[in-house]
Chain A
Amino acid sequence: MSAHVATIAPAKPATAHQRRRNYARRYRLFIVPAGIVVAAVIVFPWLFTLFMSVQDFHVGGAMTFVGLANYTRMLSDERFLWAILHTLYFTVLAVIFPTILGVIAAVCFNQRFPLRGLARTIFILPMMATPVAVALVWTMMFHPQLGVLNYLLTSIGLPPSTWVYDSATVIPTLVMVETWQWTPLIMLIVLGGLASLPQDPYEAAALDGASAWQCFIKITLPLVWPFIMVALVLRAVDALKAFDTIFVISGGGPGTSSETLNLYLYQEAFAYYDIGYASAIVVVFFVLILLVTLLLMSRRAKAAAA
């Protein structure tokens, strides 16, 4: 008689995949509050904006479905097209100048010199100031007759400028303010990168007799490039959506010569109360920011891979 002994097969140990899944299931509830917040403050506003962008709706009036009419209207809206050009012009300048100056400043502040800490602190002060307050101070300084800037120019024998009071000079002048305020941010990011660079390549280069310039071009710049790309992405997104400084200093003028997309859609929504058209502009603006960001991110990925 063979004895049948009931045996219980030992439980198979859970695979790593199963463990992760169980763990994830157990804690799924914890993401619900975050999900609700994201849905309420990001997903819903976006869906609502998309919905509004296909409506003809003025505040106080009736709402009518108009399909893509708001989008096609943009193609013939001269002011909108100029706003895109102004946005790109402003963004390109407001990225290039702070980046170049920020990298130079970072290299300088990476050197050892007396009172370096104090100098760094003073340098980053503009970044810490409130943009609206800064803009109001600059506005006073730009006044063609009473502003201190023209006083300084004329006191050294240069002709006065009309600064933001002239269509030709308004955007470069606004870029000057942006550069003054945001160069420190680039400097801080790049300085962080410089501090993390290895010393070996520099020692090897010194043995080979490389000059300081050759070290900078051949070693420092390539190694710190991923950090510069991060700074570029942040600066580009920030410059694209710049509003407060432009709104306070020039209000998009003279005429519409410094009116960026942000200012134009503000006018459409909160001055003309054309919510449908303003929503369509927001959607296009979002796509524009997305494209620029993706382009810069892909460049960054390529740079990192290289």
Chain B
Amino acid sequence: MLQRRRMLQSAAAILAAPALVERVGAQQAFDWKQFKGQSLTISMTKSPRADVMQAHQKEFEALTGIKVESEQLPEQQQRPKMVLELSTGHPSFDVTHFSLHVSKRIVGQGKWLEDLRPYIANPALTPADWDFKDFSAPSIAAATQPDGRMDSLPLETDFWLVYYNKQLFADKGIAFPKTLDDMMKAAHALTDKSTGTYGFVGRGLRNANVPVWTSFLLGQNQATITADGTKLLTDTPEAIWAGEYYKTIMRECAPPGVVGFNWNESQTSFIQGKIGMWLDGVGFAPPLLDKTKSKIADHVGFGLMPAGPKGHHCPVFTDALGVAATSKAKGAAYLFCQWATNKAMLLNLVRAGGGASPRLSTYADPDLVKDSPFGKEWLSTLLESAKIAQLGLPEIIPVTEFRDTFGVALTDMIGGADVASSLKKATENFKPILEKSLKS
């Protein structure tokens, strides 16, 4: 009897052996310690994404034996620091975290970051289960330069959605709007200036405000520039319609002083419970549900960007990680990038509410909702947003000038300026800047 049991155990062990050997082999095939003893410096943009990377940094150090020093700087300081340091050829960092919608083209033009395609294709540097094909096509397109070089790995795709105060909507008996027209009506219905209640809040601050306008413009199925990036579409009837929409909702339904609001002032106002809707990125969700900070932690709704007259899209902005081309520890630096963008890390990012993952597998995880404080509505909004996402800003080198030039026009509109003439003037001002950048 004993012998028979032993034989069965042995047979089972033999049968299981190939699978075990394969798994062990896969683990052994990838050498995480190959750059042991090296040191890395990482420059990060201050954000929930950076918080997640830093929270797990020690795990990377234990796994690889690589010493990591990372710093977070606010984006207004980190962006110029990154570009200027890279342009000198002697950056103080090996890995940089940056926004593709701001710096993609300028780092591509200078070829300051390493082309990561050979690294991804190299099994000695990229384990098979990292799974490049798991990344969504738009995120890979965002991380790829026009010449085909892929000089960064997508870290986060920030979809824009509408945060809304369910309590205010219930009090007025209003359903969450499906269209931009309904959104305007809801914003007006929720606004009661005598009680300091406003139907809408969004960015009014120059530069930061442009994605709000482009969100409305996407509802006209139109971008701000032609697909080849050569002709501005910023004074078309559709652009003027989006400008009128922006002007009306910001002047009539947003709190006083909104012209100077960036995302943080908008968020601060929203969590006080006197704002109906806030249009902004999904990555700003965590403080809304924090009961120590938010008065509406139990009433926050996550709504899909409403459809416009001609299209239904939400804007998307992508963050990425890149390796400095002049780094002396490129292998170790790449290892950090591929680790920070692997399946487990991006799942951590989404669970923490730090934004949306560019990986498709993240959303297939059955425990995602259970482990996350954000719930089913948040997840379904995220998934629906992914289906209708389009670039929120043009992929051009002078994107900051673009945002500043049209940002001023939008602040003027909040002040009461005529939309058509403001956009026409901004278009004329920006046209030579675009033309010059195309020649360079």
Cβ distance A24 to chain B, nearest Cβ, rounded Å: 42
Q: Give the one of A145, A164, A166 with max B CB within 10 A.
A: A145
Complex Cα–Cα for A145 and B110 (A): 45
Question: A250: which of B112, B260, B412 is its contact (CB, 8 Å)?
Answer: B260
| B272 adjacent to A256 (CB under 8 Å) | no
**Residue B257 lies at the interface, judged by CB distance under 8 Å to chain A:** yes
| A273 adjacent to B206 (CB under 8 Å) | no
For B440, the chain A residues whose CB sits under 8 A away are 58, 61-62
For B204, the chain A residues whose CB sits under 8 A away are 254
Stretch among A33-41, A264-272, A285-293 lining the B interface: A264-272
For A272, the chain B residues whose CB sits under 8 A away are 398, 400-401, 404
Stretch among B139-147, B261-269, B335-343 lining the A interface: B261-269
For B106, the chain A residues whose CB sits under 8 A away are 59-60, 273
Q: Within residues 76 to 92 of chain A, which ones have a CB less than 8 A from any CB in chain B?
A: none
Q: How large is the interface on A (under 10, 10 to 19, 20 to 34, 35 or more residues)?
A: 20 to 34
Complex Cα–Cα for A271 and B404 (A): 10
| B408 adjacent to A270 (CB under 8 Å) | no
Q: Give the one of A166, A252, A267, A270 with max B CB within 10 A.
A: A270
**Residue B274 lies at the interface, judged by CB distance under 8 Å to chain A:** yes
Q: Within residues 49 to 66 of chain A, which ones have a CB less than 8 A from any CB in chain B?
A: 58-62
Complex Cα–Cα for A163 and B268 (A): 17
| A145 adjacent to B255 (CB under 8 Å) | yes
Contacts A146-B272, A267-B404 given; indicate if A164 touches B260 (C-beta within 8 A).
yes
Complex Cα–Cα for A61 and B111 (A): 11
Cβ distance B14 to chain A, nearest Cβ, rounded Å: 62
Cβ distance B408 to chain A, nearest Cβ, rounded Å: 5
**Residue B287 lies at the interface, judged by CB distance under 8 Å to chain A:** no
| A253 adjacent to B272 (CB under 8 Å) | no
**Residue A10 lies at the interface, judged by CB distance under 8 Å to chain B:** no
Q: Give the one of B109, B196, B404 with max A CB within 10 A.
A: B404
Nearest residue, chain A, Cβ from B268: A146
| A60 adjacent to B404 (CB under 8 Å) | no
Contacts A253-B205, A270-B80 given; indicate if A143 touches B401 (C-beta within 8 A).
no
For B398, the chain A residues whose CB sits under 8 A away are 272
For A255, the chain B residues whose CB sits under 8 A away are 206, 259, 407-408, 411-412, 415
The secondary structure that dominates the B interface is helix
| A165 adjacent to B404 (CB under 8 Å) | no
Nearest residue, chain A, Cβ from B265: A143
Interface residues of B, count at CB 8 A: 36
**Residue A144 lies at the interface, judged by CB distance under 8 Å to chain B:** yes
**Residue A162 lies at the interface, judged by CB distance under 8 Å to chain B:** yes
**Residue A67 lies at the interface, judged by CB distance under 8 Å to chain B:** no
| B260 adjacent to A165 (CB under 8 Å) | yes
Question: A145: which of B80, B206, B269, B404 is its contact (CB, 8 Å)?
Answer: B269
Complex Cα–Cα for A256 and B429 (A): 15
Cβ distance B343 to chain A, nearest Cβ, rounded Å: 35
For A250, the chain B residues whose CB sits under 8 A away are 260
The proximity string for A residues 236-273 relative to B, scoring 1 for CB distances below 8 Å and 0 otherwise, is 00000000000000111111100000000001001111
| A145 adjacent to B272 (CB under 8 Å) | yes
**Residue A214 lies at the interface, judged by CB distance under 8 Å to chain B:** no
Complex Cα–Cα for A250 and B255 (A): 18
| A163 adjacent to B257 (CB under 8 Å) | yes
**Residue A117 lies at the interface, judged by CB distance under 8 Å to chain B:** no
**Residue A22 lies at the interface, judged by CB distance under 8 Å to chain B:** no
For B79, the chain A residues whose CB sits under 8 A away are 271
Cβ distance A48 to chain B, nearest Cβ, rounded Å: 15
Q: Within residues 171 to 219 of chain A, which ones have a CB less than 8 A from any CB in chain B?
A: none
| A253 adjacent to B206 (CB under 8 Å) | yes
For B375, the chain A residues whose CB sits under 8 A away are none
Q: Give the one of B205, B257, B408 with max A CB within 10 A.
A: B257
Nearest residue, chain A, Cβ from B262: A251
Cβ distance A220 to chain B, nearest Cβ, rounded Å: 43
Question: A271: which of B112, B255, B400 is its contact (CB, 8 Å)?
Answer: B400
Nearest residue, chain A, Cβ from B109: A60
Q: Within residues 210 to 259 of chain B, which ones have a CB less than 8 A from any CB in chain A?
A: 255-259
Complex Cα–Cα for A164 and B205 (A): 11
Contacts A144-B255, A165-B256, A165-B259 given; indicate if A273 touches B83 (C-beta within 8 A).
yes
| A165 adjacent to B261 (CB under 8 Å) | yes
Cβ distance A247 to chain B, nearest Cβ, rounded Å: 9
Cβ distance A275 to chain B, nearest Cβ, rounded Å: 10
For B404, the chain A residues whose CB sits under 8 A away are 267, 271-272
Q: Within residues 377 to 411 of chain B, which ones have a CB less than 8 A from any CB in chain A?
A: 398, 400-401, 404, 407-408, 411
Cβ distance B58 to chain A, nearest Cβ, rounded Å: 31
| A144 adjacent to B400 (CB under 8 Å) | no
**Residue B87 lies at the interface, judged by CB distance under 8 Å to chain A:** yes
**Residue B17 lies at the interface, judged by CB distance under 8 Å to chain A:** no
| B205 adjacent to A254 (CB under 8 Å) | yes
12 extra A-B contacts, CB within 8 A, seeds A59-B110, A60-B83, A254-B414:
A59-B84, A59-B87, A60-B87, A144-B256, A145-B196, A145-B272, A163-B257, A166-B259, A167-B415, A254-B260, A255-B206, A273-B80
Could you list some 25 contacts between A and B, CB below 8 A?
A59-B110, A143-B257, A143-B268, A144-B256, A145-B255, A146-B269, A163-B257, A165-B256, A165-B257, A165-B258, A166-B259, A166-B260, A252-B206, A254-B206, A255-B259, A255-B407, A255-B408, A255-B411, A256-B206, A270-B80, A270-B84, A271-B79, A272-B398, A272-B400, A273-B80
The 3 closest A-B pairs by CB, nearest first: A165-B257, A144-B257, A165-B260
B interface list, Cβ under 8 A from A: 79-80, 83-84, 87, 106, 109-110, 112, 196, 204-206, 255-261, 265, 268-269, 272, 274, 398, 400-401, 404, 407-408, 411-412, 414-415, 440
